[in-house]
Amino acid sequence: MERSTKIHPIEELAEALVSRRANGAKVVLCEGAFDLLHIGHIRHLEHAARLGDRLVVTVTADRFVHRGPQRPAFHEGLRAEAIAALECVDYVAITSSPTAVEAIGLLRPDVYVKAAESDEPDIENADSTPREEAAIKAVGGQLIVAHDFTHTSSSLINRYLPVFPKETSDYLTGFSARYSGGDVLRYLENAKPLKVLVVGEAIIDEYQYCEAIGKSSKEPTLVVKDLSA
């Protein structure tokens, strides 16, 4: 199947799957950002495909990908196309939700396969598994937790597609080696009772470089040419 014919709006895909299930097909669902397709993703999806007859993959929309600055690295359309290029994938949709709960309710899969450890941890949605498990049970399906990830998109992007200068990247690498995410969160929790005085002000000036042309003939206004154009 051509990859362009695999990608559908999620509402249309929900309708198409009704007839597939009526014909006895077992539908499997996977969801993720897939913001740099790697071997861990491929193994995960191939494993999921073997659990049913049709594999559906929902790709998290750009506005719900909370992985740090300049993320996602790849637009949702490109991420969906990359997933659709895999032979093991039958259908792809972009979902407008930060978790799989909405997709499960719409697509009503028989099986929802999730990685044991999120490919890219998202603090805002760290408690999504219980809600997703409740959602798949509500539609009569089954949650399967897979233990097959070997890489993370975030680590690969941070290593090979850095968004910071080298000095900043080196500092962050050293910082992450010394402190865990839990250490940082505990520090912030301990700082809550403190009364902090911040001295200074934000500078929000924006410079526009111009060249004076002359004065308006009717108004006391200086006419300038924008040099950035």
Torsion angle defined by CA atoms of residues 82, 83, 87 and 90, in that order, rounded to the nearest 10 degrees? -140
Beta strand 210-215 pairing with 222-226: antiparallel
Higher pLDDT pick, 154 / 55: 55
Cis-peptide into 98, omega within 30 deg = no
Please give the pLDDT value at position 229. Answer: 58
For residue 77 the two structure tokens come to: 């359309």
Amino acid found at 17? L
Question: Regarding predicted confidence, which is higher, 216 or 95?
Answer: 95
Find where tokens 């690498």 sit: 173
- State the residue for tokens 């999806």: 45
Q: Give the pLDDT score at 123.
A: 44
Going by pLDDT thresholds of 50, 70 and 90, the confidence category of residue 79 is very high
Nearest to 114 by CA among 86, 90, 144: 144
Q: Domains of the chain by range and CATH?
A: 1-229 (3.40.50.620)
DSSP conformational letter for 57? E
pTM (predicted TM-score): 0.65
